[in-house]
Amino acid sequence: MIAVFFIGAICCSNLFFLGTKEASAASKKGYEAMQIMVSGSGTLTLQPHESKQVMVQFQNLGPNTWTNTGAKYVSVYTYNPKYRLSDFENGWLASDQPAKLIEASVPVGGVGTIQFTLTAPANVGVYKESFYLAAEETAWIPGGEFTFTINVQEQTTTTTKSSSTKTTSSSNSLTDGTASPVSTEGLSATVLLRSKKDLKVEAGTVIEYTVGIKNTGTVPWSSREVRTADLAMASVTSSETKSGTWLSASKLIAKAGDTVNPGALDFFTFSFTAPKTKGNHTVRYQLAVNETTVPDFYIDIPVEVTTGAPEAYESPLLEEQTSSLVNEIAEPIMRIGVLIVDEETSDQVIISCNADWELRDGTSNLMGTLEAGENVTAFYKKGKYWFNRGRGLESTSYYLRFIPKEEDAVCTVENFDRRVTRNTANADNTFRDVLELRYNDYKDRTWLINELPIEEYLYGLAETSNSSHAEYQKTLITVARTYALYHYERATKYKNEYFHISSYSWDQVYNGQGHEARSPRIVEAVDATRGVTVTYDGETAITPYFSRSDGRTRDWSEVWGGSVPWCQSVATPCDAGKTLWGHGVGLSASAALCMAKNGQTWDDILNYFYQGIDLAQRWE
């Protein structure tokens, strides 16, 4: 995958598409939550002085059981700013604390419920009321923030005459612009389950999404449709998110033939296209049942678009890299952001190496010499880097570098174990060569950065499995190498955070030396293609790829506008009849694997998906 935008672990069958593998937030002091429902999807309409009971449900993702009694009981407080007085307070535990957990206890994986009443003030207008789940005197629970957007307005009614009968009803316009004659009385719904906690994707990616919606009204549902929103209240237009699987320009999916009774749950799976611009967006849809839209109910999907493909394509070469064309160059030294240092590791790292090593600061001053197996605890706080090498706490004003004295030595982050914090099969906390602890004020966070030659970086990639076809492995490795070099040459993504790319799924999944040790055939694929990258007209090419096509790939212009001559639509017979997973531009991973199994070589595969390219060995 290349360019800034399309990598995710292909080996993982639970992924919808490359680039969207979910990364769970770290627990804080044993607490973490995921919101699974909120009344009205967070949007409410009330009349002045009207009261409405609201409910929010969270899944317990942390290692601690939640309780509604005891020293660390779970409740919600007002937020933004915290502990503020709310205009909607009514019968709460306190003026800044609406309610405690309803359940006496919620085990790990269980669902907890918060329920309280909001009473609208006299003044009409749109209000935003924010709250945060908290373990008393312990932590604001990550994932526990929620906001109600409340429209306080006077009741409006329309009166129509039919013969001698007067009927008063609220307006209910459907997405085709026609007025619905069906009453909305008794229609109510809430989202209980979502297939994705967070969506962090590349521009133009096609996303498959599932929601579980509960019938919280009093009327059984027969026909059901997910539609585009009636009102332009989402941050992106429905036309921008349209997918080829939609039934029409305004209808995503339709269901009929069974009945969803009050209290029952119905699941909807549909696809939509991620916005084309970088940033945070809200994609909004509505539910129509029995031929009318459910009032005050929206399916709101937050989507973070990491970096748009056009932005990456238009990024110029750095001045110091302008000689890095097809001519042979020195093997690049990559800087990979491998870990955000936060609650997952108690805001610090504990580093050891399997060879004698040195601790130096950012000016190369020697802070200490350590033997193999000795460790240093280090962290950043209030403008200084603090470290303990067994002589008490010391500090420096400059970032810290952990440097083995032997080539290819391996350093371990002793207090980082993915099996514990991310529920993976392996710890994957070991990395070749240099580690660096560095804070940046650009995003106000501290990263642990791994600095190593690009080929050794590729050894630790987890973009495909050790058992996949050899020619397919070579194909992916070559694209991954090109991706890394492209961003090395342009500092496209993380220049302000002092590294080239991250190890997370929104770039290329990199698990370090542990994955390398488990994947000897990946290492062989790296060595077999050493230094080879995709080029076009003498420069490093941007080479997007994605999980699966539907019988053809897409032109660059179809998804992102403009023109990239080597990214033109090609047929993918192996994918015919399948559903598109991903943005559709460049190389289809599933089709490439099929071609490899059918006898195509890695260079043939690359030349098929990227037209007019060259495969050039840039270093030996």
Residue-wise pLDDT for 274-322, tens only, equals: 887 777 788 889 999 998 989 889 898 988 887 666 667 767 777 555 4
24-154 and 203-305 have identical folds: yes
Name the β-bridge partners of 206.
273
Place of tokens 């342009």: 490
Phi, psi angles (nearest 5°) of residue 159: -115, 125
Assigned CATH for 24-154:
2.60.40.10
Q: How far apart, in whole angstroms, are the C-alpha atoms of residue 288 and residue 285?
A: 10
Instruction: Say what percent of the chain tops pLDDT 70.
Output: 87
Q: How far apart, in whole angstroms, are the C-alpha atoms of residue 246 and residue 208?
A: 12
Tokens for 186, please give them.
């008794």
DSSP string, 410-471: EEEETT--HHHHS--SS---EEESEEEEEEETTTTEEEEEEEEEHHHHHHTB-SS-TTS-HH
Q: How far apart, in whole angstroms, are the C-alpha atoms of residue 322 and residue 164?
A: 82
Tokens for 198, please give them.
């967070």
pLDDT mean over 586-597: 96
* All residues at 6 or more sequence positions from 320 whose CB lies less than 8 Å from its CB, including other chains: none
Q: State the pLDDT at residue 110.
A: 85
Total Cβ atoms within 10 A of residue 307: 19
Is pLDDT at 377 greater than 80 in this prediction?
Answer: yes
Q: Where are the domains of the chain?
A: 1-19+308-331+459-620, 24-154, 203-305
pLDDT mean over 463-489: 94
The one-letter code for the residue type at 203 is A
- Average pLDDT in the chain: 85
**Residue 232: half-sphere exposure toward Cβ, Cα within 13 Å:** 5
Total Cβ atoms within 10 A of residue 404: 21
Q: State the pLDDT at residue 31.
A: 93
Is pLDDT at 431 greater than 80 in this prediction?
Answer: yes
Q: State the pLDDT at residue 410.
A: 97
Q: How far apart, in whole angstroms, are the C-alpha atoms of residue 196 and residue 211?
A: 9
| CATH top-level class of 203-305 | mainly beta
- Convert the pLDDT of each residue in 137-155 to its tens digit: 899 999 999 999 999 998 7
Tokens for 189, please give them.
């719904």
CA nearest to 310, candidates 504, 27, 561, 580:
561
Q: State the pLDDT at residue 241.
A: 86
Q: How far apart, in whole angstroms, are the C-alpha atoms of residue 227 and residue 248?
A: 9
Is pLDDT at 561 greater than 70 in this prediction?
Answer: yes
Q: Calculate the alpha carbon distances from 243 to 73, 231, 274, 321, 583 in Å.
A: 45, 20, 9, 39, 10
pLDDT mean over 562-588: 92
Tokens for 609, please give them.
């998906």
* H or E, element range at 73: none
Give the confidence band of 25 by pLDDT, cuts at 50, 70, 90.
very low
Give the confidence band of 135 by pLDDT, cuts at 50, 70, 90.
very high
Total Cβ atoms within 10 A of residue 610: 28
The structure's pTM equals 0.62
Place of tokens 């302000």: 496
Q: State the pLDDT at residue 528.
A: 97
Residue 518 exposed, middle or buried by CB count within 10 Å (0-12, 13-18, 19+): middle
Q: State the pLDDT at residue 278.
A: 72
Which own/partner contact pairs does 168-177 have at CB distance under 8 Å and 24+ positions apart?
170/295, 172/292, 172/293, 172/295, 173/230, 174/227, 174/230, 174/288, 174/291, 174/292, 174/293, 175/227, 175/228, 175/229, 175/230, 175/250, 175/251, 175/286, 175/288, 175/293, 176/250
Q: State the pLDDT at residue 19.
A: 32
- Convert the pLDDT of each residue in 163-210 to its tens digit: 333 333 333 333 333 333 446 788 999 998 888 767 888 777 888 899
Instruction: Say what percent of the chain tops pLDDT 90.
Output: 59
- Convert the pLDDT of each residue in 96-125 to its tens digit: 899 999 988 898 888 899 999 999 999 999
Distance of CA 422 to the CA centre of its chain: 15
Q: State the pLDDT at residue 238.
A: 65
